[in-house]
Amino acid sequence: MIEFDVAQQRLAQAGRLPERTETCELGAALGRILAQDIQAQLDMPPADNSAMDGYAVRLADVSDGRVLPIQQRCYAGEVPETLKEGMAIRIFTGSLLPPGADTVIIQENCQEDEHGVRILEAPEVGANIRRRGEDMRHGEVLIQSGTRLTASHIAQLAAQGHAALSVYPGLTVGILTTGDELTPAGQPLRPGQIYNSNAPMLQAQLLALGVAAVRAVHAADTLEAIRDALQSLLAKCDLVLTVGGVSVGEKDLVKPAIESIGGQLDLWKVRMKPGKPLALAYVQDKPLVCLPGNPVSSYAVFALMVSPLVRRLQGRRETLPAIRYGVLQGERHFQGDREEFIRVQLDSDEQGRLLVRPFGNQGSGVISSLPWAQALARIPADAHVAPGDVVRIYEYSQWQA
């Protein structure tokens, strides 16, 4: 049996980094993976400017009761004059700081009439000024290659004037489901049949990771059907996932099908629950991962084991997301000889502790536990874990992003 962390590391390194890059416009960059370091091409702000609506002054000119005549009204986008001694310039948020001024006094602390402005309350020298380059400095690396772009990165890129970016091409992933008992949702269910939940589930999990191009194929439980489906997926995809059909049953034909097209299958018994059987193969240099058929197992194995491989193939820097820690709630004690991943809800208490509440029925066939939960909590093998103990948490929002 392979330890969970070892298997996870191996999968995270099982793919090659992308070789090609493409150009993407900023407006279409959400979720794309950067293929270049982004450097600041400007100081931000580009010049000292006002953080508030108010008056730009030389603080030494301010004294009790003194009225400073208004030299100019300078709106954002305009170029101010040099401040003359003993005067004030009316200024607004984002207005350039007039040369000669050293402080901005907020308008709430001033009184203006036709003679000028009286300062009711003076701040410290330098107050309410945003300094050139205090946010970003020309030449500084802002976003590293391999980052998946979010709305906040897009704000930073736009602020720097980047209109086109070098990104990695999107992946195409194939999903092959097997099993004569499976019917696609939307069709009537005949006796002995169940709906195919793994294909749409995996497609959605892939989409959450940023893989939009998914080819899902279902094959009957025959060697020929599985082999043909595999070959057509391998021809078009960067990665192929198969579901079910890899145990030792008479209809478990995925392994022989992979071998019949020249693939070498590394079948692992991973010391994890749910999920134990997992296989990795390379066919024509392309990675292929065989997932267990039970939907809960398939979900957990995809989130914990396959997502790192997908991130690697996408060119991402971080393939293993962060793990958090929380305190187990409820009454149930856990103990087992495999690393167990239980479906849990997360909450917090007034002390700021993260609370972890397990779903009642942790059976690997219980699909209703999946949408109920927000995370998988890890119960270590060969340990007795009791309520109040701290456990590791793999949040869906982190592990499927």
* Residue ranges in contact with Mg ion by CB under 5 A: 179, 244-245
In the complex, which residue's CB is closest to ligand AMP?
293
Residue that the structure tokens 């536990």 belong to: 369
CB of 250 to Mg ion, least distance (A): 10
CB of 295 to ligand AMP, least distance (A): 5
Interface of this chain with ligand AMP, residues 40 to 79, rule: CB under 6 A: none
Tokens of 157: 């890129």
Nearer to ligand AMP, 96 or 254 (CB): 254
From ligand AMP, Mg ion, none, interface partner of 199 (C-beta below 5 to 8 A by class): ligand AMP
From Mg ion, ligand AMP, none, interface partner of 358 (C-beta below 5 to 8 A by class): none
185 CB-side CA count, 13 A: 6
Question: Using CB under 6 A, which of 239, 243, 265, 303 touches ligand AMP?
Answer: 243
Nearer to Mg ion, 219 or 344 (CB): 219
110 CB-side CA count, 13 A: 27
Helix (H) or strand (E) holding 106: strand 103-106
Nearer to ligand AMP, 93 or 193 (CB): 193
127 CB-side CA count, 13 A: 15
Which is it for the CA torsion 50, 52, 56, 62, positive or negative?
A: negative
Nearest to 24 by CA among 12, 10, 37, 35: 35
β-bridge partners, 44 = 136
Helix (H) or strand (E) holding 348: strand 339-348
Question: Using CB under 6 A, which of 95, 294, 319, 362 touches ligand AMP?
Answer: 294
Check residue 181 for interaction with ligand AMP (CB under 6 A).
Answer: yes
β-bridge partners, 31 = none
Nearer to Mg ion, 95 or 242 (CB): 242
The binding site for ligand AMP (CB under 6 A) comprises 177, 179, 181-182, 194, 196-199, 243-245, 247, 249, 293-295
